[in-house]
Chain A
């Protein structure tokens, strides 16, 4: 664990390889179905065209999942460690729509180590920005992982 801690601490400030997400209607549908959210604004074009959005948009929380697998891969590559999710922050700036291409940039912002009963625990904070194909910021997220 001490090894892991020092390895991760060296990575503070590191940018993970960017993830490019093609947002399709199916992306929205899969997300809404997995969430169990029947809101027609996410899936029903006929309904959504009459709203102020003029078409279907993604639930704002979709942004939290874009590029999430990149973080997961990085943290779960060592099977001897347990990884839990500590906290999440989301600031949506504009809706994500089908047809958008969202580039997700992830930076390791902070690593804290705290000694505990079962050895030390690591708190790793990631800062994530999501930009669309027009380079507009669509959302900013922060994810904290707990590793022991």
Chain B
């Protein structure tokens, strides 16, 4: 994996390395199977249209778990995800490029543990935030 990030190296306002994703309809089917989310709006176009949707949409929680990956990629093996909150604000469509981003909003030490809080979001090609949330992680302190 990439180099470990340490608490002492993190600054409020600092950006996390972004993560690009482009879920395909094939990935949605894999996700339906792996996650148990078998809502047909994610793989059955006729059904989705009948429900008033423009077509098949990406599972909110798949896009949300992309943000989980953004965090575990950044925090590395030495970091721990303590809390993740996600709000599904808009629909994502298969084939669209999604960019997962994060920015550090707070850092603090409690009980000798080093916490960092980030705002995180998924951005579609039109710059709209379709999933927003926060992540709290602990990081190793550093030297």
Contact = CB atoms under 8 A, between A and B. Distances in A.
Given A51-B77, A52-B77, A82-B51, A65 B34 contact: yes
Interface stretch (A87-95, A121-129, A130-138): A87-95
Interface residues of B, number: 38
A4 to B, nearest CB: 15
Given A52-B78, A92-B81, A72 B38 contact: yes
B86 A87 contact: yes
A36 B21 contact: yes
B34 A60 contact: no
Given A33-B34, A87-B87, A92-B82, A64 B77 contact: no
Contact of A61 (B21, B78, B84): B84
B52 to A, nearest CB: 7
A89 B84 contact: yes
A64 B87 CA distance: 14
Interface of A: 30-31, 33-37, 39-41, 51-53, 59-61, 64-65, 67-69, 72, 76, 82-92
